[in-house]
Structure 1
Amino acid sequence: MNQQDIRIIKKYPNRRIYDTEQSRYITLNDVKNLITDNVEFKVIDAHSKKDITRSILLQIIIEQESEKNPLFSTENLQRFIKYYGANQNQQFSDFINQSLAFFQQQQEQFQSSMNDMLDQSPLKFWSEVGQQNMQMWQEMQKEWFASIQKPDQEEKEE
């Protein structure tokens, strides 16, 4: 994605946030929705022209963490703080980035599988489930009958 495709959000000294693409003021919740909708954006301080995207993202995290179901435990937050200024700072950051990317990839694959399953007609889905169950049942019967026949054959040989 090039620079022109990135949505520009401006933050004014009065703490208001302005979406330049939609030409309207937005809230932190609207910014959160941009993230969940996979919209790339950059937040610029309207006065200094500095990129303050990280600061806005941290504000969103603080709001989310203050609600009923925080994502990070107190212990995890303490562990994160310990890595600031430590020799392993970059290693820890890389590890977190790779772990989150892997988790997101797994979630996308799971969602894709679920969508594929739901895109089928219910009749086709249950028909396939029934066929798979029938195959497993037949395999189980074959193994069971084979195990019964082995002792009978051994008795005849003696």
Structure 2
Amino acid sequence: MRIIEKYKNRKLYDTNMKKFITLNDVANFVKEGETVKIIDSLGNDITQEIFLKARIKGKIFCSLKKEMIERLIQGFIKIFKGNTDDFIEILLDLVNQGVLPADIAKELGNAVIKHFNEFEENMKKDIIELIKSTGFVSKEEYDKLKEEYEALKKKCEN
């Protein structure tokens, strides 16, 4: 199995050949029937995401006009602002104009939305952990602590 590491600077490193490679190299490995696993800097398996990028780069971007690429980028920006409907509409427009094959649009849409949802969930967890680390507690914990305080206060007064 060929292991490829993706660095934060987006470079791909082939651990077998001990050198940096491109998306085209990844596509060629797959075409040649090699088993490939791609991991990010945290050790997460991102093979499908990179395969999708390799397919898109090879099949689509070479034939897209500048304005279509700009619309696709605008779609990505909109999805990160939480508007998946506009992103999907842009993908459908690209399919209807014959610029983007439907299967690639579907793969791209599903992958981007999946990664956005995972990013959003991780962000929520990080925010909750940050708030907890500052000493804040949930409303339920606060109410429980208040009850305990009131009970201790009554005890002390008696």
Tell me which interval the TM-score lies in, with the shorter structure as reference length.
Answer: 0.3 to 0.5
Scaled by the length of structure 1, the TM-score of the pair is: 0.41
TM-score (norm 2): 0.41
